[in-house]
Amino acid sequence: MAWVITRLCRDCVDQACVDVCPVECIFAHTGSDTAKFPNQLYIDPDLCIDCGACEPECPWEAIYEDVSVPDVFKEDVALNTAITAHKDAFEVPQHTDKDQPSPEQVASNKQKWGLAS
């Protein structure tokens, strides 16, 4: 079992999760194929030790256990797994502080991606 970063991270990319990951399994895409790998963070399921430290750190509420990913985000499980075949196009990002989103921004982001509250 591993954790999955869903599209709720897309274009938000907070990176608070990166700091708490004890095994550095959270990656950013550095390649040019942004159609296949959009601007978000990804968890390498082969490296993830299923500690769950990342989930409460995500202010966008974008991280789920793979078995608990909402149906609307099921494609994101495969997307996170796909990074294992493209390791040269990913790196652990350097954390940069970002402003925390408001509850309204989080709710709006969820609505944008089709997650009913």
CB 20 within 8 A of CB 109: no
Q: pTM of the entire structure?
A: 0.94
Question: Where do the structural domains in the chain lie, given as residue ranges?
Answer: 3-112
Alpha-carbon distance of 37 to 75, in angstroms, equals 12
Overall average pLDDT of the 26-36 stretch: 95
Tokens describing residue 43: 């968890």
Residues 69-82: pLDDT tens digits?
999 999 999 999 99
In this predicted structure, the answer to whether residue 12 has a pLDDT above a threshold of 70 is yes
So what's the architecture of 3-112 in CATH? 2-Layer Sandwich (3.30)
